[in-house]
Amino acid sequence: MNRIFTLIFLCSMGMAAYGQEDAGYLELVRAEVELKSMFDQLYSQEVPGSQLALYHDIDSAFNHALKLPGSFEHDWSKLDQIGKLASDDGRIKVFSWLYRVSMNDYRYTAYIQVMDKNDAELFKLEPAADDNIHTKDFDQEISHWDGKVYYDLVTKEYKRKVFYTLLGADYNNTSTSVKTIEVVTVQRGKPVFRDDQFLVGGTVEDRIVLEYSADLAVSARYNEELDMIVYDHLLPLHPLYHGNYQFYGPDGSYDGLTFTEGVWVLEEDVDARNE
């Protein structure tokens, strides 16, 4: 008889645990469905700025959703209108999106989840309002961020330290668009933007910034076959426009970055053709 009572007790405990897990999963699904509906509504409006309140509501709802148990393992596959990236080592995830407030004003939101000691910590990136935000030496922090949507994440390791390289796009204004390449590491469980990560012609830079005419398309991607980050080489349409980035665009050649001993090293005029 004792064996029967023991079996009943173990089964009831298992069903209770299953019910708890199932309830947690359903809460994630409900949060994802709600966010999907909110994003659909946000991006269905053709008048810039008319849904600014909804944009802020999404931020609040997403913050809550990413703090739910199991959110790090959830794939959020229904949210196909935002940037969703995961590192190769399974330690960080990056979520980002934008909203167009006016012809010259884009708002950006980004979150980084860090898996540390079996617990996922959430960090919100706070946009800065500095005038020099698009410079190569802009001092980025989690609370002082150059807003953008991240569309690619490259995971590299050197001397047992993992470097997460993020490629991002900022639509900036009607004159120029911007793409950036920057490196994040995890220190004491917190994501940190690293300085001095790019060796460019004998000069060490904090990040790569590509600013160009808003009327043109510029490519910047990690090429697995070459094991390089490859991007369009930019030049002004005429030397007279040097430094005036609304007249910058691709010249048909490509630059590449190779990860070497913990830094990205620039190689100019690389052959990026797929043969």
Q: What is the pTM of this model?
A: 0.90
Nearest alpha-carbon partner for 124 in 62, 172, 35: 62
Ranges of the chain whose pLDDT falls below 70? 1-21, 274-275
Handedness of CA 81, 256, 155, 139 (dihedral sign): negative
Q: Are 247 and 205 in contact (CB under 8 A)?
A: no
DSSP 209-249: EEEEETTS---EEEETTTTEEEEEEEEESSGGGTT-GGGEE
pLDDT tens-digit profile of 229-257? 999 999 999 999 999 999 999 999 999 99
Q: Are β-strands 198-200 and 263-267 bridged in parallel, bridged antiparallel, or unpaired?
A: parallel
- At residue 18, the pLDDT reads 39
Tokens of 82: 């935002």
Of 188, 199, 84, 206, nearest in space to 139 by CA: 206
Among 170, 168, 176, which Cα is nearest to 216's?
176
The secondary structure of residue 125, as a DSSP letter, is E
Task: Tell me the chain's radius of gyration from C-alpha atoms.
Answer: 22
CA neighbor of 145 nearest in space, from 180, 115, 114, 99? 180
In the block, tokens 């080592």 appear at: 89
| Residue whose structure tokens are 């490196």 | 183
The residue ranges of DSSP E strands in the chain, in sequence order, are 83-86, 92-102, 105-116, 119-125, 149-158, 161-170, 176-187, 190-193, 198-200, 203-205, 208-213, 220-223, 228-236, 248-260, 263-267
Instruction: Check residue 15 and give its pLDDT.
Output: 38
pLDDT, position 2: 52
pLDDT at residue 1, rounded to an integer? 47
Q: Parse the chain into domains and list their residue ranges.
A: 45-67+83-267
Q: What number of other Cβ atoms are within 10 A of residue 42's Cβ?
A: 18
Q: What is the pLDDT of residues 177-215, one digit of tens each?
A: 999 999 999 999 999 999 999 999 989 999 999 999 999
Query: How many other C-beta atoms are found inside a 10 Å radius of the C-beta of residue 32?
Result: 18
